[in-house]
């Protein structure tokens, strides 16, 4: 009976274009009456440290843990889950997240379906704090999806069988360690290899000594000189590389535009791409973008970024930080429309608290659970 009630609630609310139904004043098929609850949204959160399975090294740093904030947004007894992941180079921390979330007065909002109004408020109350903002955005999407009894890929109209393969990331290391990590990743059909740390050929040759599957590379701003970079791109093309992410410093648009123009492989922006407004300056400089919920304040803006990038004929990659299955499952709701996905963040940690999207034979498989498609296992 509860399922039927929820189904009808979902269908009626969708028919109403997002207007909120909290009670049934009509028979199915007749126009329903709407009224908002008298209660406001209740936000709670806790800091949490993700334990990484391997020390994670990219061109700029190494680490063994990632700080995250886990949120819950409750309304009328329904709870939405959210997460903000804060790798240190982005400048957010448990302390900044605590300060940001404490400043929010979400109990003023009595209708969770007013997502634009709520998330505009969250975005405008303070600058920056993108991961903390994402932790609220994801929880609100989870809550609203649960109220509609639908996962977001269905609400947005995407087909779940169109999900792409996900890459698995091999961090910078010495040859034998790279060989061992590549062997461990044998279930994947495409790998992302971190380079830009001064041993690019060793990294690629080590991976290639184990597997011939497609690879993509992430330079993390590690290259400095454009002709040398172009020579590397040509060499990488011969090694079966699919695309190259963030070759130069994010501010170096001139060399990047030159490289993109001459490169036989797509060049994607990651560090250079944050909010939807960045697309304008990156069009023509990069072939495409890496969109991550933690950089762009969450699912609402990621949806705008991906649809806008597609309309500009830019390639799209849905990425993530090291995150629990909460963050990766939220990102995976958008994965049916991207060219590539890099949603392995939950697989890089040993203390996940949720179960959601899976990677089966290298391909993203979305759960049918409503909202962001997760359940708590912690």
Q: Is 301 in the site for Mg ion (CB under 5 A)?
A: no
C-beta of 92 vs 218, nearer to Mg ion: 218
Which residue of the chain is nearest Mg ion when measured via CB? Answer: 270
List the interface residues with Mg ion, window 231-260 (CB under 5 A): 245
C-beta of 32 vs 345, nearer to Mg ion: 345
Could you tell me the smallest distance in angstroms from the CB atom of residue 218 to Mg ion?
4
Span interacting with Mg ion, options 24-32, 195-203, 270-278, 305-313, rule CB under 5 A: 270-278
Which of 98, 90, 163, 166 lies closest to 135, judged by CA? Answer: 98
Could you tell me the smallest distance in angstroms from the CB atom of residue 12 to Mg ion?
42
Span interacting with Mg ion, options 184-192, 228-236, 253-261, 268-276, rule CB under 5 A: 268-276
C-beta of 149 vs 263, nearer to Mg ion: 263
Q: Please, what's the b/e burial string for 20-59 (b: 16 or more CB within 10 A of its CB; e: otherwise)?
A: bbbeeeeeeeeebebeeeeeebebebeebebebeeebebb
Exposed/middle/buried for 228, CB within 10 Å: 0-12, 13-18, 19+? exposed
Span interacting with Mg ion, options 123-131, 217-225, 347-355, 358-366, rule CB under 5 A: 217-225
C-beta of 148 vs 285, nearer to Mg ion: 285
Could you tell me the smallest distance in angstroms from the CB atom of residue 16 to Mg ion?
40
Which distant-in-sequence residues (6+ apart) come within 8 Å of 67 by Cβ?
A: 47, 48, 49, 50, 85, 86, 88, 93, 94
Span interacting with Mg ion, options 155-163, 192-200, 212-220, 236-244, rule CB under 5 A: 212-220
Q: Phi and psi at residue 341, in whole multiples of 5°? A: -135, 150
Q: Is 323 in the site for Mg ion (CB under 5 A)?
A: no
List the interface residues with Mg ion, window 96-125 (CB under 5 A): none
Could you tell me the smallest distance in angstroms from the CB atom of residue 342 to Mg ion?
8
Q: Which of 83, 218, 301, 344 binds Mg ion (CB under 5 A)?
A: 218
**Could you give the string, one character per residue 22-61, with x where binding to Mg ion holds by CB under 5 A and - elsewhere?**
----------------------------------------
Could you tell me the smallest distance in angstroms from the CB atom of residue 192 to Mg ion?
8
C-beta of 270 vs 339, nearer to Mg ion: 270
Could you tell me the smallest distance in angstroms from the CB atom of residue 289 to Mg ion?
11
Q: Measure the CA–CA gap between 276 and 352, rounded to whole angstroms.
A: 30
Could you tell me the smallest distance in angstroms from the CB atom of residue 169 to Mg ion?
9
Span interacting with Mg ion, options 118-126, 155-163, 264-272, 360-368, rule CB under 5 A: 264-272
Could you tell me the smallest distance in angstroms from the CB atom of residue 245 to Mg ion?
5
Could you tell me the smallest distance in angstroms from the CB atom of residue 96 to Mg ion?
22
Could you tell me the smallest distance in angstroms from the CB atom of residue 236 to Mg ion?
16
Q: Is 270 in the site for Mg ion (CB under 5 A)?
A: yes
Residues touching Mg ion: how many (CB under 5 A)?
3
Q: Measure the CA–CA gap between 137 and 132, rounded to whole angstroms.
A: 9
C-beta of 250 vs 304, nearer to Mg ion: 250
Q: Measure the CA–CA gap between 177 and 294, rounded to whole angstroms.
A: 29
C-beta of 250 vs 363, nearer to Mg ion: 250
C-beta of 218 vs 255, nearer to Mg ion: 218
CB 49 within 8 A of CB 15: no
Q: Measure the CA–CA gap between 307 and 20, rounded to whole angstroms.
A: 26
For Mg ion, the binding residues (CB under 5 A) are: 218, 245, 270
């Amino acid at each position: 009976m509860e399922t039927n009630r929820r189904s009808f609630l979902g269908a009626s609310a969708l028919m109403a274009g997002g207007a909120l139904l909290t009670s049934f004043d009509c028979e199915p098929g007749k126009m329903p009456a709407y009224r908002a609850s008298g209660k406001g949204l209740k936000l709670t959160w806790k800091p949490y440290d993700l334990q990484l399975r391997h020390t994670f090294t990219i061109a700029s740093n190494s680490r063994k843990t990632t700080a995250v904030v886990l949120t819950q947004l409750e309304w009328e007894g329904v709870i939405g889950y959210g997460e903000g992941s804060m790798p240190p180079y982005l400048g957010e921390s448990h302390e900044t997240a605590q300060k940001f979330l404490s400043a929010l007065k979400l109990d003023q909002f009595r209708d969770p379906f007013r997502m634009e109004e709520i998330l505009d408020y969250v975005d405008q109350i303070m600058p920056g704090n993108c991961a903390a903002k994402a932790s609220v955005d994801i929880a609100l999407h989870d809550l609203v999806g649960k109220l509609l009894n639908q996962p977001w890929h269905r609400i947005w109209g995407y087909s779940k069988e169109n999900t792409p393969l996900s890459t698995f990331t091999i961090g910078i290391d010495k040859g034998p360690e790279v060989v061992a990590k590549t062997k461990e990743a044998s279930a994947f059909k495409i790998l992302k290899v971190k380079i830009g740390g001064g041993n690019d050929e060793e990294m690629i040759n080590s991976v290639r000594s184990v597997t011939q599957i497609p690879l993509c590379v992430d330079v993390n701003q590690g290259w400095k000189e454009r002709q040398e970079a172009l020579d590397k791109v040509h060499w990488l093309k011969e090694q079966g590389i699919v695309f190259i992410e963030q070759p130069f410093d994010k501010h170096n648009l001139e060399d990047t535009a030159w490289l993109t123009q001459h490169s036989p492989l797509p060049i994607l922006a990651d560090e250079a791409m944050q909010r939807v407004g960045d697309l304008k300056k990156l069009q023509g400089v990069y072939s495409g973008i890496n969109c991550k919920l933690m950089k762009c304040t969450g699912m609402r803006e990621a949806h705008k970024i991906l649809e806008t990038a597609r309309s500009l004929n830019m390639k799209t990659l849905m990425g993530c930080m090291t995150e629990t299955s909460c963050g990766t499952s939220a990102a995976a709701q958008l994965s049916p429309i991207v060219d590539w996905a890099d949603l392995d963040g939950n697989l890089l940690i040993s203390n996940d608290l949720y179960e959601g999207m899976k990677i089966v034979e290298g391909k993203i498989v979305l759960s049918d659970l409503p909202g962001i498609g997760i359940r708590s296992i912690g």
